[in-house]
A and B are shown apart, each in its own frame.
Chain A
Amino acid sequence: MSQEDILNPKQMPSDPEKATPEGKNKFVGFWMFLGGETVLFASLFGTYLALVRSTSGENTPENLFGLELVFIMTMLLLTSSLTSVYAMYHMKNNDFKKMQLWLGITVVLGLGFLGCEIYEFYHYIHEYGFTFRSSAFGSAFYTLVGFHGGHVVFGLSWFIALMLRNRKRGLNLYNAPKYYIASLYWHFIDVVWVFIFTVVYLLGKVG
Protein backbone atom coordinates (compact mmCIF):
# COMPACT_ATOMS: atom_id res chain seq x y z
CA MET A 1 0.00 0.00 0.00
CA SER A 2 1.48 3.31 -1.02
CA GLN A 3 1.48 6.40 1.16
CA GLU A 4 -1.17 7.87 -1.12
CA ASP A 5 -3.52 4.91 -0.52
CA ILE A 6 -3.06 5.15 3.22
CA LEU A 7 -4.00 8.84 3.20
CA ASN A 8 -6.99 8.29 0.86
CA PRO A 9 -8.70 5.14 2.15
CA LYS A 10 -11.76 3.79 0.32
CA GLN A 11 -13.78 4.30 3.45
CA MET A 12 -12.93 7.23 5.68
CA PRO A 13 -12.72 6.40 9.39
CA SER A 14 -15.15 8.21 11.66
CA ASP A 15 -12.31 10.10 13.34
CA PRO A 16 -10.07 11.05 10.39
CA GLU A 17 -8.17 13.54 12.53
CA LYS A 18 -6.68 10.79 14.69
CA ALA A 19 -6.41 7.94 12.16
CA THR A 20 -2.69 8.40 11.40
CA PRO A 21 0.27 8.60 13.82
CA GLU A 22 0.91 12.12 12.53
CA GLY A 23 -2.66 13.11 13.33
CA LYS A 24 -2.37 11.65 16.85
CA ASN A 25 0.89 13.51 17.47
CA LYS A 26 -0.57 16.77 16.20
CA PHE A 27 -3.54 16.31 18.48
CA VAL A 28 -1.46 15.78 21.65
CA GLY A 29 1.10 18.41 20.67
CA PHE A 30 -1.57 21.00 20.04
CA TRP A 31 -3.20 20.46 23.42
CA MET A 32 0.23 20.89 24.98
CA PHE A 33 0.45 24.24 23.20
CA LEU A 34 -3.02 25.20 24.46
CA GLY A 35 -1.92 24.45 28.04
CA GLY A 36 0.95 26.90 27.48
CA GLU A 37 -1.36 29.48 25.94
CA THR A 38 -3.55 29.27 29.05
CA VAL A 39 -0.55 30.29 31.18
CA LEU A 40 0.40 33.04 28.76
CA PHE A 41 -3.07 34.59 28.84
CA ALA A 42 -3.17 34.17 32.63
CA SER A 43 -0.07 36.36 32.93
CA LEU A 44 -1.73 39.00 30.72
CA PHE A 45 -4.93 38.82 32.81
CA GLY A 46 -2.87 39.04 36.00
CA THR A 47 -1.09 42.12 34.70
CA TYR A 48 -4.40 43.68 33.68
CA LEU A 49 -6.00 43.04 37.09
CA ALA A 50 -2.94 44.49 38.80
CA LEU A 51 -2.92 47.67 36.71
CA VAL A 52 -6.62 48.27 36.02
CA ARG A 53 -6.85 50.97 38.74
CA SER A 54 -3.74 52.81 37.48
CA THR A 55 -5.75 55.11 35.22
CA SER A 56 -5.14 58.67 34.16
CA GLY A 57 -7.80 61.37 33.91
CA GLU A 58 -11.33 60.47 32.87
CA ASN A 59 -10.37 57.32 31.00
CA THR A 60 -11.47 54.72 33.52
CA PRO A 61 -13.04 51.36 32.60
CA GLU A 62 -16.47 52.65 33.75
CA ASN A 63 -16.31 55.68 31.42
CA LEU A 64 -14.74 54.00 28.41
CA PHE A 65 -16.46 50.69 27.88
CA GLY A 66 -19.76 50.38 26.03
CA LEU A 67 -21.51 47.07 26.54
CA GLU A 68 -23.57 47.09 23.31
CA LEU A 69 -20.56 46.56 21.07
CA VAL A 70 -19.05 43.98 23.42
CA PHE A 71 -22.34 42.09 23.40
CA ILE A 72 -22.41 42.00 19.60
CA MET A 73 -18.78 40.84 19.54
CA THR A 74 -19.54 38.11 22.08
CA MET A 75 -22.47 36.84 20.03
CA LEU A 76 -20.41 36.84 16.81
CA LEU A 77 -17.56 34.88 18.36
CA LEU A 78 -19.81 32.44 20.23
CA THR A 79 -21.81 31.73 17.06
CA SER A 80 -18.61 31.27 15.06
CA SER A 81 -17.57 28.68 17.62
CA LEU A 82 -20.78 26.76 16.87
CA THR A 83 -20.33 27.02 13.10
CA SER A 84 -16.83 25.56 13.38
CA VAL A 85 -18.36 22.71 15.42
CA TYR A 86 -20.73 22.17 12.46
CA ALA A 87 -17.73 22.09 10.13
CA MET A 88 -16.07 19.38 12.23
CA TYR A 89 -19.35 17.44 12.26
CA HIS A 90 -19.31 17.38 8.47
CA MET A 91 -15.63 16.45 8.46
CA LYS A 92 -16.39 13.38 10.59
CA ASN A 93 -19.16 12.43 8.15
CA ASN A 94 -16.72 12.93 5.25
CA ASP A 95 -18.69 15.74 3.65
CA PHE A 96 -15.94 18.04 2.40
CA LYS A 97 -18.12 20.66 0.69
CA LYS A 98 -20.31 21.27 3.71
CA MET A 99 -17.23 21.43 5.92
CA GLN A 100 -15.72 24.15 3.69
CA LEU A 101 -19.04 26.00 3.66
CA TRP A 102 -19.35 26.09 7.45
CA LEU A 103 -15.72 27.11 7.82
CA GLY A 104 -16.45 29.92 5.38
CA ILE A 105 -19.33 31.08 7.60
CA THR A 106 -16.99 30.86 10.61
CA VAL A 107 -14.49 33.08 8.82
CA VAL A 108 -17.19 35.66 7.98
CA LEU A 109 -18.33 35.80 11.62
CA GLY A 110 -14.71 36.08 12.75
CA LEU A 111 -14.13 38.97 10.35
CA GLY A 112 -17.21 40.66 11.80
CA PHE A 113 -15.72 40.32 15.27
CA LEU A 114 -12.42 41.71 14.08
CA GLY A 115 -14.12 44.68 12.42
CA CYS A 116 -15.92 45.52 15.68
CA GLU A 117 -12.65 45.32 17.61
CA ILE A 118 -10.82 47.62 15.18
CA TYR A 119 -13.73 50.07 15.38
CA GLU A 120 -13.59 49.89 19.19
CA PHE A 121 -9.86 50.64 19.39
CA TYR A 122 -10.18 53.40 16.79
CA HIS A 123 -13.03 54.93 18.79
CA TYR A 124 -11.04 54.87 22.06
CA ILE A 125 -7.98 56.42 20.46
CA HIS A 126 -9.73 59.19 18.49
CA GLU A 127 -12.72 60.04 20.68
CA TYR A 128 -11.16 59.57 24.09
CA GLY A 129 -7.43 59.90 23.42
CA PHE A 130 -7.06 56.57 25.21
CA THR A 131 -3.91 54.92 23.82
CA PHE A 132 -1.36 52.31 24.70
CA ARG A 133 0.75 55.01 26.31
CA SER A 134 -1.92 56.97 28.21
CA SER A 135 -1.71 54.97 31.43
CA ALA A 136 -0.69 51.63 32.90
CA PHE A 137 -4.34 50.64 32.50
CA GLY A 138 -4.11 51.55 28.80
CA SER A 139 -1.00 49.44 28.28
CA ALA A 140 -2.47 46.45 30.09
CA PHE A 141 -5.81 46.76 28.26
CA TYR A 142 -4.36 46.98 24.75
CA THR A 143 -1.85 44.21 25.46
CA LEU A 144 -4.49 41.78 26.72
CA VAL A 145 -7.32 42.54 24.29
CA GLY A 146 -4.93 43.21 21.40
CA PHE A 147 -3.17 39.91 21.96
CA HIS A 148 -6.52 38.16 21.76
CA GLY A 149 -7.29 40.13 18.59
CA GLY A 150 -3.96 38.94 17.20
CA HIS A 151 -5.08 35.37 17.87
CA VAL A 152 -8.28 36.06 15.94
CA VAL A 153 -6.24 37.34 12.97
CA PHE A 154 -4.02 34.27 13.10
CA GLY A 155 -6.97 31.87 13.42
CA LEU A 156 -8.74 33.48 10.44
CA SER A 157 -5.60 33.35 8.30
CA TRP A 158 -5.18 29.71 9.28
CA PHE A 159 -8.73 28.78 8.22
CA ILE A 160 -8.46 30.72 4.95
CA ALA A 161 -5.08 29.14 4.10
CA LEU A 162 -6.42 25.63 4.77
CA MET A 163 -9.59 26.20 2.77
CA LEU A 164 -7.71 27.58 -0.25
CA ARG A 165 -4.88 25.05 -0.17
CA ASN A 166 -7.21 22.04 0.04
CA ARG A 167 -10.11 23.26 -2.08
CA LYS A 168 -9.33 20.84 -4.91
CA ARG A 169 -7.86 18.04 -2.82
CA GLY A 170 -10.94 17.09 -0.87
CA LEU A 171 -10.74 15.57 2.57
CA ASN A 172 -8.04 12.99 3.30
CA LEU A 173 -6.14 11.70 6.29
CA TYR A 174 -3.36 14.18 5.60
CA ASN A 175 -5.39 17.37 5.92
CA ALA A 176 -8.12 16.23 8.34
CA PRO A 177 -5.85 16.71 11.41
CA LYS A 178 -4.95 20.19 10.12
CA TYR A 179 -8.60 21.21 9.94
CA TYR A 180 -9.38 19.68 13.30
CA ILE A 181 -6.52 21.50 15.04
CA ALA A 182 -7.38 24.84 13.46
CA SER A 183 -10.92 24.43 14.83
CA LEU A 184 -9.53 23.64 18.31
CA TYR A 185 -7.55 26.88 18.10
CA TRP A 186 -10.71 28.76 17.17
CA HIS A 187 -12.58 27.36 20.17
CA PHE A 188 -9.71 28.35 22.42
CA ILE A 189 -10.00 31.92 21.14
CA ASP A 190 -13.60 31.89 22.32
CA VAL A 191 -12.55 30.46 25.70
CA VAL A 192 -10.21 33.44 26.18
CA TRP A 193 -12.89 35.88 25.00
CA VAL A 194 -15.36 34.60 27.61
CA PHE A 195 -12.90 35.68 30.30
CA ILE A 196 -12.13 38.97 28.54
CA PHE A 197 -15.76 40.06 28.30
CA THR A 198 -16.35 38.98 31.90
CA VAL A 199 -13.19 40.26 33.60
CA VAL A 200 -12.39 43.32 31.47
CA TYR A 201 -15.76 44.63 30.32
CA LEU A 202 -18.44 43.38 32.73
CA LEU A 203 -16.39 43.59 35.93
CA GLY A 204 -14.99 46.90 34.61
CA LYS A 205 -18.52 48.28 34.42
CA VAL A 206 -19.49 46.92 37.82
CA GLY A 207 -16.43 48.69 39.23
Chain B
Amino acid sequence: MEENTSSASRHKIDVHKKEHKEEMIHQVISFILMILFTFIAFGMVVLEISSYFVKPVLILLAVIQVVFQLYYFMHMKNKGHFMPAMMMYGGLTVAFFTIITFTTIIWW
Protein backbone atom coordinates (compact mmCIF):
# COMPACT_ATOMS: atom_id res chain seq x y z
CA MET B 1 0.00 0.00 0.00
CA GLU B 2 2.73 2.38 0.97
CA GLU B 3 4.60 1.58 -2.19
CA ASN B 4 1.47 2.30 -4.18
CA THR B 5 1.03 5.77 -2.74
CA SER B 6 4.67 6.65 -3.19
CA SER B 7 4.63 5.53 -6.81
CA ALA B 8 1.40 7.49 -7.30
CA SER B 9 2.96 10.62 -5.83
CA ARG B 10 6.05 10.08 -7.95
CA HIS B 11 3.81 9.89 -10.97
CA LYS B 12 2.14 13.14 -9.90
CA ILE B 13 5.51 14.88 -9.61
CA ASP B 14 6.45 13.69 -13.10
CA VAL B 15 3.17 15.01 -14.50
CA HIS B 16 3.80 18.39 -12.87
CA LYS B 17 7.36 18.49 -14.13
CA LYS B 18 6.10 17.83 -17.62
CA GLU B 19 3.55 20.64 -17.29
CA HIS B 20 6.23 23.01 -16.07
CA LYS B 21 8.42 22.06 -19.00
CA GLU B 22 5.62 22.75 -21.48
CA GLU B 23 4.98 26.12 -19.90
CA MET B 24 8.70 26.88 -20.12
CA ILE B 25 8.72 26.10 -23.86
CA HIS B 26 5.86 28.57 -24.37
CA GLN B 27 7.73 31.16 -22.35
CA VAL B 28 10.91 30.74 -24.39
CA ILE B 29 8.91 31.08 -27.61
CA SER B 30 7.28 34.26 -26.33
CA PHE B 31 10.72 35.58 -25.35
CA ILE B 32 12.01 34.98 -28.89
CA LEU B 33 8.97 36.77 -30.33
CA MET B 34 9.46 39.69 -27.94
CA ILE B 35 13.10 40.02 -29.02
CA LEU B 36 11.94 39.92 -32.63
CA PHE B 37 9.34 42.66 -32.05
CA THR B 38 11.98 44.78 -30.32
CA PHE B 39 14.28 44.42 -33.34
CA ILE B 40 11.46 45.36 -35.72
CA ALA B 41 10.52 48.40 -33.60
CA PHE B 42 14.10 49.72 -33.36
CA GLY B 43 14.75 48.81 -37.02
CA MET B 44 11.77 50.85 -38.20
CA VAL B 45 13.09 53.93 -36.39
CA VAL B 46 16.77 53.46 -37.31
CA LEU B 47 15.97 52.92 -41.00
CA GLU B 48 13.78 56.06 -40.82
CA ILE B 49 10.81 54.55 -42.57
CA SER B 50 8.78 57.68 -43.14
CA SER B 51 5.08 57.24 -43.23
CA TYR B 52 2.27 57.85 -40.83
CA PHE B 53 1.74 54.20 -40.08
CA VAL B 54 5.09 53.98 -38.22
CA LYS B 55 3.65 55.39 -34.98
CA PRO B 56 0.60 53.11 -34.74
CA VAL B 57 2.74 50.09 -35.66
CA LEU B 58 5.26 50.94 -32.90
CA ILE B 59 2.43 51.21 -30.36
CA LEU B 60 0.92 47.95 -31.61
CA LEU B 61 4.28 46.13 -31.26
CA ALA B 62 4.57 47.40 -27.67
CA VAL B 63 1.04 46.23 -26.85
CA ILE B 64 1.73 42.74 -28.26
CA GLN B 65 4.96 42.50 -26.22
CA VAL B 66 3.12 43.47 -23.05
CA VAL B 67 0.41 40.88 -23.73
CA PHE B 68 3.13 38.20 -23.97
CA GLN B 69 4.72 39.46 -20.78
CA LEU B 70 1.42 39.45 -18.85
CA TYR B 71 -0.04 36.20 -20.16
CA TYR B 72 3.07 34.03 -20.46
CA PHE B 73 5.76 35.47 -18.15
CA MET B 74 3.31 36.55 -15.45
CA HIS B 75 1.09 33.44 -15.97
CA MET B 76 -2.16 35.31 -16.56
CA LYS B 77 -3.18 32.61 -19.05
CA ASN B 78 -3.17 30.00 -16.26
CA LYS B 79 -6.15 28.96 -14.16
CA GLY B 80 -7.04 31.00 -11.07
CA HIS B 81 -6.21 34.37 -12.61
CA PHE B 82 -9.69 35.87 -12.70
CA MET B 83 -8.96 38.47 -10.01
CA PRO B 84 -5.58 39.48 -11.49
CA ALA B 85 -7.27 39.93 -14.88
CA MET B 86 -10.00 42.07 -13.28
CA MET B 87 -7.37 44.21 -11.53
CA MET B 88 -5.25 44.66 -14.65
CA TYR B 89 -8.17 45.41 -16.97
CA GLY B 90 -9.60 47.80 -14.39
CA GLY B 91 -6.21 49.51 -14.10
CA LEU B 92 -5.77 49.61 -17.88
CA THR B 93 -9.22 51.17 -18.36
CA VAL B 94 -8.44 53.96 -15.91
CA ALA B 95 -4.97 54.29 -17.48
CA PHE B 96 -6.51 54.71 -20.93
CA PHE B 97 -8.84 57.50 -19.81
CA THR B 98 -6.03 59.17 -17.85
CA ILE B 99 -3.82 59.38 -20.94
CA ILE B 100 -6.69 60.54 -23.17
CA THR B 101 -7.55 63.26 -20.64
CA PHE B 102 -3.99 64.49 -20.10
CA THR B 103 -3.16 64.66 -23.80
CA THR B 104 -6.41 66.22 -25.03
CA ILE B 105 -6.52 68.90 -22.32
CA ILE B 106 -3.16 70.21 -23.50
CA TRP B 107 -3.90 69.92 -27.21
CA TRP B 108 -7.17 71.85 -27.15
Interface residues of A (CB under 8 A from B): 11, 14, 18, 27-28, 31-32, 34-39, 41-43, 45-47, 49-51, 67, 71, 74-75, 78, 81-82, 85-86, 89, 92-93, 184, 187-188, 190-191, 194-195, 197-199, 202-203, 205-206
User: Judging by beta carbons under 8 Å apart, are B69 and A191 in contact?
Assistant: yes
User: Judging by beta carbons under 8 Å apart, are A31 and B83 in contact?
Assistant: yes
A37 to B92, CA, bound (A): 10
B side interface size, CB within 8 A:
49
User: Judging by beta carbons under 8 Å apart, are A190 and B69 in contact?
Assistant: yes
Knowing A43-B98, A49-B102, the reply to whether A202 touches B45 (Cβ < 8 A) is: yes
User: Judging by beta carbons under 8 Å apart, are B103 and A187 in contact?
Assistant: no
User: Judging by beta carbons under 8 Å apart, are B58 and A31 in contact?
Assistant: no
For the complex formed, measure the closest distance between the CB of A190 and the CB atoms of chain B, giving whole angstroms: 6
Q: Which residues of B from 76 to 98 have beta carbons under 8 Å from A? A: 80, 83-84, 87-88, 90-92, 94-96, 98
For the complex of A and B, 3 pairs with smallest distance between CB atoms: A46-B102, A42-B95, A35-B91
Q: Which residues of B from 16 to 53 have beta carbons under 8 Å from A? A: 16-17, 19-20, 23-24, 27-28, 31, 34-35, 38, 41-42, 44-46
B99 close to chain A: CB less than 8 A: yes
User: Judging by beta carbons under 8 Å apart, are B42 and A34 in contact?
Assistant: no
Q: B residues within 8 A CB of A51? A: 106
Cβ contacts A to B, 19 pairs, < 8 Å: A27-B84, A34-B91, A38-B88, A38-B95, A50-B105, A82-B28, A82-B31, A85-B27, A85-B73, A190-B73, A191-B70, A194-B65, A194-B66, A195-B66, A198-B41, A198-B61, A202-B44, A202-B45, A203-B55
User: Judging by beta carbons under 8 Å apart, are A67 and B46 in contact?
Assistant: yes
**Which secondary structure dominates where chain B touches chain A?**
helix
- Residue from the set B34, B87, B88 with the largest chain A CB neighbour count within 10 Å: B87
When the two chains form the complex, which single residue of A11, A31, A42, A202 contacts B84, counting CB atoms closer than 8 Å? A31
When the two chains form the complex, which single residue of A49, A74, A89, A188 contacts B24, counting CB atoms closer than 8 Å? A89
**Which secondary structure dominates where chain A touches chain B?**
helix
Q: A residues within 8 A CB of B27? A: 82, 85, 89
Interface residues of B (CB under 8 A from A): 9, 13, 16-17, 19-20, 23-24, 27-28, 31, 34-35, 38, 41-42, 44-46, 54-55, 58-59, 61-62, 65-66, 69-70, 73-74, 80, 83-84, 87-88, 90-92, 94-96, 98-99, 101-103, 105-106
A36 to B66, CA, bound (A): 17
Q: A residues within 8 A CB of B45? A: 67, 202, 205-206
**Which residue on A lies nearest to B69, using beta carbons?**
A191
A189 to B58, CA, bound (A): 19
For the complex formed, measure the closest distance between the CB of A23 and the CB atoms of chain B, giving whole angstroms: 12
Q: B residues within 8 A CB of A71? A: 38, 42
